Structure 1
Amino acid sequence: MLDVAAVPQSLSGLTMGTTWSAKLILPAGTVPETLGAGIQRQLDLVVRQMSTWSDDSDLSRFNQAQANTWHEIPVEFFRVLDCALTVAQATGGAYDPSVGPLVNLWGFGPDARGQQTPAAQELAVAQSRCGWQRIRLDRVRCRVWQAGGIYLDFSSIAKGFAVDLAVDYLRAAGIPSYLVEVGGELRGYGVKPDQQPWWVGIEQPLSVQGGAATTADAVHSVVALHGLALATSGDYRRYFEHAGKYYSHTIDPRSAAPIAHPLAAVTVLHPECMVADVWATALMVLGPEEGMRCAQERGLAALFLARDGSGFSESMTPALRAMLT
């Protein structure tokens, strides 16, 4: 039972080139500023370890390391990479944490040359550096093998993991109810003083222009995040236009090019935000048919929004449908 003296509180800040927020129900006497600083420390840890935009991060140092060398990495870094490799194997490489060279080449990373369509030879060279199978883990010593030219990119999983770290911190602090968000990825637990859970809307693109979906300010469905996380991957979040064609920031490592299918967005619900985050991207790469089959086989709660003329059509997995009934 929630303490009747519990006080609602909102906190927010900046991280990973975006914003974070937390809605909390605090026990009487709790200092909000202390919790805000604690959340920020968790998010700063993720940046310090996993940012491709910082040359001093653990991830960047690994990306720049010499070939055929082992590297000890922090346990959090290891946990994220382990999860990413699990999804890479499950999707036959449709998701690949070593896709960084292609992300940069297409103009969506820190080493980008500008948003333009690369030449075939450039794509071949970048694709030759990718390959999740080349990454080896030493679980005993918490090490990862740099085979040469491997460039990890955690942009599709780090925000979700950051949400999970913030939630772990709040749990340890004894906070009974919260809704944490980082860059649009969310995780909630508990109820508010009115005994209602944290209801959130699944975003939907507003329209389609030239084959690409535009901004996602519309609410599609509302779900209760009580012990659940929600993450969305969509082609409307980042893209560029060239010669009348739209190019999504989501790269298919198998084709070395941005995705080119009708899917506009995929939303996944899961107890862990890291898992929801990575699978939203993986299913987005797989596309409407293959992605739906993959999600059903693994019992994932997922919503697929596909372009349908001037609007969108939806399909959801049985696991998600069961949550909404």
Structure 2
Amino acid sequence: MINIFLLFSLVSHPGIFTIQGETMHTYYEVKICDQGGPKEVKTNLKRFVSRLDEELSNYLSGNEIYHINKNAGIIAVKVSPRLYYVIEKALEIARESGSAFDPTIGPLVDVWNFKNFPPGKKQIEEARELV
């Protein structure tokens, strides 16, 4: 299970605060200009990030992404309209970025997992066929 760590810090400018955190093996930072207090925003952001983690993490068993990855190349997996939209947007960004962003890169990420570093040439070639 992925633990989400949220680190909150107030920036020196009044009405501007930063929320930083870690999720899905990466980091994020949100800067917000607000005349009100940051407490409600922090709470809502924490809920939002937790929900994203639950729905989109490829490390948590039981969610749609897990089932897609588990059945990749075996059977088609029906997904919710919400996830379909996310996948559609990810593919759109991939096209617009000339594949600089590639949502299908999972097999290569798995091969380069740094446990068996570096992977063998055959492992890389086999993973590339799945991307």
Q: Quick check: TM above 0.5?
A: yes
Q: Distance in 1 between matches of 2:81 and 2:115?
A: 31
1:88–1:103 Cα change, 3 Å: same
1:48–1:119 Cα change, 3 Å: same
Q: Normalising by the residue count of structure 2, what TM-score does the alignment of the two structures yield? A: 0.67
How far does the alpha carbon of each residue in 1:197-248 deviate from its partner, in whole angstroms, 9 at most, with x for none?
xxxxxxxxxxxxxxxxxxxxxxxxxxxxxxxxxxxxxxxxxxxxxxxxxxxx
How far does the alpha carbon of each residue in 1:59-86 deviate from its partner, in whole angstroms, 9 at most, with x for none?
12221136222322351x3333112212
1:10–1:87 Cα change, 3 Å: closer
Q: In structure 2, what is the equivalent of residue 251 of structure 1?
A: none
1:127–1:40 Cα change, 3 Å: same
Letter in 2 for 1:14: G
- Unaligned 5+ residue runs, structure 2? 1-13
How far does the alpha carbon of each residue in 1:37-72 deviate from its partner, in whole angstroms, 9 at most, with x for none?
011112222211212233344312221136222322
Q: Distance in 2 between matches of 1:49 and 1:74?
A: 13
Q: Distance in 2 between matches of 1:22 and 1:93?
A: 28
Q: Distance in 2 between matches of 1:37 and 1:88?
A: 32
Query: Residue 104 of structure 1 contacts residue 113 of structure 1 at CA under 8 Å; is this kept in 2?
Result: no
State how 1:140-179 maps to structure 2 within 5 Å.
none
Q: Distance in 2 between matches of 1:38 and 1:92?
A: 34
1:19–1:127 Cα change, 3 Å: closer
Aligned CA RMSD, in angstroms, stands at 2.8
Q: In structure 2, what is the equivalent of residue 22 of structure 1?
A: 31
1:39–1:90 Cα change, 3 Å: closer
Letter in 1 for 2:29: W
Q: In structure 1, what is the equivalent of residue 61 of structure 2?
A: 55
Q: Distance in 1 between matches of 2:97 and 2:44?
A: 36
Q: Give yes or no for the alignment of 1:41 onto 2:47.
A: yes
Q: In structure 2, what is the equivalent of residue 64 of structure 1?
A: 70
- Unaligned 5+ residue runs, structure 1? 1-6, 131-325
How far does the alpha carbon of each residue in 1:147-206 deviate from its partner, in whole angstroms, 9 at most, with x for none?
xxxxxxxxxxxxxxxxxxxxxxxxxxxxxxxxxxxxxxxxxxxxxxxxxxxxxxxxxxxx
1:52–1:23 Cα change, 3 Å: same
Q: In structure 1, what is the equivalent of residue 84 of structure 2?
A: 78
Q: Percent identity?
A: 17
Letter in 1 for 2:47: R
State how 1:104-123 maps to structure 2 within 5 Å.
104-107=110-113, 113-116=115-118, 118-123=119-124
Letter in 1 for 2:56: M
| C-alpha deviation, 1:12, in angstroms | 2.2
Q: In structure 1, what is the equivalent of residue 104 of structure 2?
A: 98
1:10–1:99 Cα change, 3 Å: same
Letter in 1 for 2:127: A
More strand by proportion, 1 or 2? Answer: 1
Query: Residue 88 of structure 1 contacts residue 94 of structure 1 at CA under 8 Å; is this kept in 2?
Result: yes
State how 1:135-284 maps to structure 2 within 5 Å.
none
SS of the residue corresponding to residue 129 of structure 1 reads: coil
Higher relative contact order (CA 8 A, sep 6+): 1
Computing the radius of gyration over CA atoms, which structure comes out larger, 1 or 2?
1
Count of matched residue pairs: 115
More helix by proportion, 1 or 2? Answer: 2
Q: Distance in 2 between matches of 1:114 and 1:58?
A: 28
Letter in 2 for 1:129: L
